[in-house]
């Protein structure tokens, strides 16, 4: 059997090390959690299904103003000269931007119906994904000011002082280690593996308990105080 030269051995070793480092980098990259926002967890209509999505906030508000004025006219309300002038100016501004007012207004009811149909639907793209998300911690059980299980919600007071968010805006979280809390609604960053898991959870309110519909679950590997 032929013997490898010292130069060949070094080349092979270098190649092996490069492969190992590349593999390690891929593993680290694969495990790196993706930072997301609450809006990512909901489904959205495609541009074809929702032509209003292409409008800027200003254009959308202008269209709303035009629609409100036209609706009042359709109900037989007598408009003032100022209201008529404002509507004409707003309509001209939209038309100059290439916005077809009549076509959009004719579609608003159908688009609204589709949006309501998916309002609480979960997003399958995040099932099984490692994510990092900020929110407010609503404990399900306390043990000496520590929790192992809680609901993560997007705003203070959700489910207790205000109506619960839709299911796709609530995550049922279990932690690997107890988390110290000061009370309800601590602001935190939560990191872990997200799963689609619809369920009902009981939360305590002043006059008893309330059942909340939950769209996601997570096994949290890390819970940290919120910092921007």
Residue 213 placed within a domain: yes
**Confidence (pLDDT) at 3:** 52
Q: Which residues have CB under 8 Å from 123's CB, separation 6+?
A: 40, 41, 42, 43, 168
Mean pLDDT of the region 1-13: 49
Same domain, 95 and 129: no
Residue 208 sits in a domain whose CATH number is 2.40.50.870
Same domain, 73 and 146: no
pLDDT tens column, 16-54: 444 344 444 444 445 689 999 999 999 989 888 999 999
Residue 2 placed within a domain: no
Same domain, 99 and 137: no
Looking at every residue in the chain, the average pLDDT score rounds to 86
pLDDT tens column, 133-163: 999 999 987 777 899 999 999 999 888 878 8
More confident residue, 15 or 220: 220
**Confidence (pLDDT) at 174:** 95
**Confidence (pLDDT) at 25:** 41
Dihedrals φ, ψ of 56, to 5°?
-75, 165
**Confidence (pLDDT) at 203:** 85
pLDDT tens column, 173-188: 999 889 999 888 999 9
Which of 98, 117, 136 delimits the end of a domain? 117
Beta strands at 146-153 and 130-139: parallel, antiparallel or unpaired: antiparallel
- The boundaries of the domain holding residue 217 are 124-225
Residue 9 placed within a domain: no
Same domain, 193 and 140: yes
């Amino acid at each position: 059997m032929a013997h490898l030269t010292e130069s060949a051995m070094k080349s092979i070793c270098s190649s092996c090390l490069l492969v190992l480092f590349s593999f390690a980098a891929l593993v680290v990259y694969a495990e790196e959690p993706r930072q997301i926002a609450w809006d990512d967890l909901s489904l959205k209509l495609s541009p074809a299904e929702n032509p209003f999505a292409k409008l800027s906030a200003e254009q959308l508000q202008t269209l709303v103003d035009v629609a409100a004025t036209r609706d009042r006219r359709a109900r037989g309300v007598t408009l003032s000269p100022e209201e008529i002038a404002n509507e004409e100016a707003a309509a001209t501004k939209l038309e100059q931007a290439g916005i077809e007012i009549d076509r959009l207004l004719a579609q608003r009811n159908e688009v609204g119906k589709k949006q309501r149909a998916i309002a609480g639907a979960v997003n399958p793209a995040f099932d099984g994904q490692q994510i990092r998300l900020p929110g407010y911690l609503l404990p399900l059980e306390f043990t000496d000011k520590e929790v192992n299980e809680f609901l993560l919600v997007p705003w203070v007071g959700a489910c207790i002082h205000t109506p619960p968010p839709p299911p796709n805006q609530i995550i049922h979280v279990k932690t690997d280690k107890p988390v110290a809390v000061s009370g309800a609604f601590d602001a935190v960053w939560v990191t872990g593996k997200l799963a689609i898991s619809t369920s009902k959870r009981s939360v305590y309110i002043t006059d008893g308990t309330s059942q909340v519909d939950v769209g996601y679950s997570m096994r949290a590997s890390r819970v940290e105080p919120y910092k921007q």
